Amino acid sequence: MPLNAPHETNLFYANRTLNLGHRGASHYAPENTMPAFRLAAEMGADGVELDAQRSKDGHIVVIHEVELSHTTNGSGLVTDKPLAELRELDAGASFSPEFAGTPIPTLEEVFSALGPVLLFNIELKVWTYDDRGLVAEVIRLIEDFNMQDRVILSSFNPFALKRAYQVNPKIKRGFLWRPKLPFFFIRRKWLRFLAREDMYHPDWESVTPALIIKEHHRGHLLNTWTCDDPEVMRRLIKMGVDSIMTNQPDVLKQALDE
């Protein structure tokens, strides 16, 4: 835990390892949908990680892939479709017929239903310098729902996090990192200084005790992703990571309760 943690009001500073459902309880329900988020809450998760993109007409929708065909019965880019068209798509049937008809949720819908129940790690899905208003609109919703102390904004893109700091520096930011990233300009780790992050989010394979100590001394939380192996979970908990993102929050809860 960072040295400045006692002065923080954000609930991610919990002095224990938090359980975050990766795109909800996405091992059991379609990722980034209301059923997955509700199930994560029922399984005892402290919060969820979700992905935010901007529709063509400026609404914030919760979906990971930029191409709709990966998880829905649609095609084309999320950012090229208006909300009304996106809401007509089926985001559940490809996972299981049980979830047929499940729509893509909006961030507003998620906050309305589960804002008082869960913490939220919101990944800003933007891969260019220009976020096309995504960051400002996400922050507007956070402020409208008074979620500042229940939310962190994360991204692989340091320019998106810089923009978040400019819009509202009080909302905590986490810099995502993985050694092999497909987008060249953000693979340069020295660009991290732009993010002015409060938290570091490496993949679990990159986590070492020395890295945790280093980030804590820098005043950062260390939140890691995406781990579904109970033995690795136990090892990460013992190391002292601040949160673990998992597709199976029930498995992580059992490891945390041991």
Residues with active-site annotation: 22, 64
Give the whole-angstrom CA distance, residue 191 versus residue 204: 21
Q: How far is CA 139 from CA 8, 50, 143, 188, 225, in A?
A: 19, 15, 6, 26, 23
Using a 10 angstrom Cβ sphere, with 0-12 exposed, 13-18 middle and 19 or more buried, the burial of residue 215 is buried
Comparing CA positions, the residue from 22, 3, 10 lying closest to residue 250 is 22
Using a 10 angstrom Cβ sphere, with 0-12 exposed, 13-18 middle and 19 or more buried, the burial of residue 237 is middle
What are the helix (H) ranges across 134-217?
134-144, 158-167, 209-217
Amino acid found at 132: R
Amino acid found at 145: F
- Cα 146 from chain centroid (whole Å): 18
φ, ψ of residue 172 in degrees (nearest 5):
-70, 145
φ, ψ of residue 78 in degrees (nearest 5):
-55, -45
